[in-house]
Amino acid sequence: MGEIGVNITVVGPNNATVSKDIKIPVGYPSSGAPYQVNILAPETLGPNAATNIYVTVTDEAGNPVSNPDGNNLLVTANNLANTVLGFKGETGTTVNAKTADGVAEISVLPREEGYLTLIAQADGADNSIDNGFQALVSASKTIQVTNASAAPTQDIAITTGKLPNGVVGVPYNDFAIATTGSAPISFVLSSGSLPPGITFSQSGVLSGTPTLVGDYTFTVSVTAGNGSTASQELTLKVSQVGFEFDRKDFETITPVLDLDPNKPSICSLQGQILKLKPLDGYTLASPFTWEMDAGGVSTALGAGNNAVRVVTANGIELPELDFTVTSDTTQVVLNGKVCPDAPSEVFNGHAIILSATDANGVKFESVLPLIIELEVKPAPGNNSGGGATTNPICNGFSPIPPSCSDTTALTVKVNTFFSTTIAGATATSTVVAGSLPPGINLIGGTKIEGTPSATGTYDFVLSDNSTSQAVRIIVEN
């Protein structure tokens, strides 16, 4: 609606002119039917206190629409079930109303705190709701209901400072950014980049499945219902695997061969444990499935004390050694025994290939070193100051080293790692006669280890100038 201004000028004889300004009112024709509904109400209400709100109905020309003879409004309270509406004696969660001069006054009595949504509906066809709706015209308004004695609304703050790490190919389980402050809240990603495969919702939830390893730093911002805002920089680290093997209880096996006829040789009883260790905050997901790769053939390790013979990556079966999986599937136990009379190929360094896969589908595989070294305790020697001895290896040297005692002959495979401790040797022992096989080293005066590169028989003597140990190593193909 409005006015149009018109200037009329008349030119007469001798060019005489007469002018007149005229204003003409204009507007849309009024149909008298509802075209627009509005709800006039405060943004907040208190519980257990009645408040009057106003609903207006206008036509397309903006003129008020009334219906003194019948109901032309339906007003409904949603979300807070115990809310009571009232209009001229009628009460309930829904009331029928009629407008006077385009306005209906409705009382609202919420009984609890929360968010109350009011919906007002009119019929644009005939301005009556008594016969249903032919052309629905509606409006809604959401009002926060809070206790008048409650503390003022709290400014928003993001309390999440660190995110759990992700794993490539593993779903990131809908992690929600935590906040304190006044609802409703709305999040945005204000800077930085998310890991590929991860999304961030308006409600502050990270979800998806990451596809690429890396450290991804980004900033999230949030706006609260009271208008306050906050931002937080976060980093989501994505790794390739979520766990690894903890080998601290998976150690060297050392049977003892005692050459003293009055003392027994000792078999090493096993009970070594291989555990799982999560990486970077990853949560282990049971049950796990375990496999052993032996000579390119994978063998499942079953739970429930289902023993599986240990076979090395080269296909060598280790007699009387078995793997079992604990009932909770989180550990593998190496059981059995190794005795000094075991086949010579047992006393070497071995490679065992094991893998574990968790319930998320994350798999970790590793080559585990398993060292079986024979400790030899020599028979008592009879030479305390050089000269003749009943130990044949010692007798092969001239002069015979002082207090020399033979150890047993060790047979090893060429180009195969082995390690063993020489009984009777000390930290200050050195090679004083003979030579080690090529590729073999003396470690700390007491241990010899390495990978022999040539076949043959090698005799040498370790001595600390007080006692001496003669050693023979036979390297075979």
227 and 248 together in one domain: no
Query: Domain boundary at 334, 369, 404, which?
Result: 369
383 and 345 together in one domain: no
137 and 232 together in one domain: no
Q: What letter would DSSP give residue 395?
A: H
Query: Domain boundary at 348, 369, 390, which?
Result: 369
**CATH number of residue 192's parent domain:** 2.60.40.10
Q: What Rg, from alpha-carbon coordinates, does the chain have?
A: 45
Helical residues (DSSP H) of 383-455, grouped into ranges? 392-395
Helix (H, G, I), strand (E, B) or coil at 96: strand
Asked if residue 26 belongs to a domain, the reply is no
Asked if residue 17 belongs to a domain, the reply is no
365 and 266 together in one domain: yes
359 and 387 together in one domain: no
For 161-224, the DSSP string reads --PPPEETTS-EEEEEPPEESPSS-EEEEEEE-PPTTEEE-TTSEEEE---S-EEEEEEEEEE-
135 and 40 together in one domain: yes
Per-residue confidence (pLDDT) for residue 158, from 0 to 100 = 92
Report the C-alpha gap between 120 and 160 in whole angstroms: 41
Per-residue pLDDT of the chain (477 residues; tens, 9 = 90+): 445 555 655 555 555 555 556 555 544 455 678 888 989 888 888 888 888 898 988 888 777 888 878 899 999 999 888 899 999 889 999 999 999 888 889 999 998 999 999 999 999 988 989 888 889 999 999 999 988 644 456 788 999 998 988 888 888 877 889 888 766 678 999 999 999 999 998 889 999 999 888 889 999 999 887 778 899 999 998 887 788 898 888 878 888 887 777 778 888 877 788 999 888 767 888 889 999 998 778 889 876 557 899 998 888 888 889 999 988 888 999 888 888 888 877 887 888 999 999 888 888 888 888 888 888 777 665 444 443 345 678 877 777 777 788 776 788 888 888 888 888 888 898 988 888 999 999 998 888 888 899 988 898 988 888 888 888 888 888
Report the C-alpha gap between 163 and 141 in whole angstroms: 37
CA 69, distance to chain mean position in Å, is 66
Number of domains, the chain = 4
Q: Tell me how far CA of residue 376 lies from CA of 67, 73, 379, 412, in angstroms.
A: 111, 102, 9, 15
Asked if residue 342 belongs to a domain, the reply is yes
194 and 173 together in one domain: yes
84 and 60 together in one domain: yes
Residues 6+ apart with CB under 8 A from 136: 121, 122, 123, 124
Q: What are the beta bridge partners of residue 431?
A: 462
Asked if residue 252 belongs to a domain, the reply is yes
Structural domain that includes position 464: 378-476
Amino acid symbol at 110: P
Query: What's the pTM value of the predicted model, to 2 decimals?
Result: 0.42
Give backbone dihedrals phi and psi of 345, rounded to 5 degrees, phi first.
Answer: -70, -15
Helix (DSSP H) and strand (DSSP E) numbers for the chain? 1, 39
Per-residue confidence (pLDDT) for residue 220, from 0 to 100 = 94
Asked if residue 355 belongs to a domain, the reply is yes
**CATH number of residue 331's parent domain:** 2.60.40
Residues 6+ apart with CB under 8 A from 360: 167, 170, 171, 242, 285
Cβ-contact 140, 38 below 8 angstroms: no
Per-residue confidence (pLDDT) for residue 5, from 0 to 100 = 57
202 and 233 together in one domain: yes
CB atoms within 10 A of CB 473: 21
- Which pair of tokens denotes residue 353? 């290939």
Query: Domain boundary at 239, 254, 278, which?
Result: 239
Asked if residue 3 belongs to a domain, the reply is no
250 and 356 together in one domain: yes
Per-residue confidence (pLDDT) for residue 10, from 0 to 100 = 53
Asked if residue 436 belongs to a domain, the reply is yes
Q: How many residues does the chain have?
A: 477
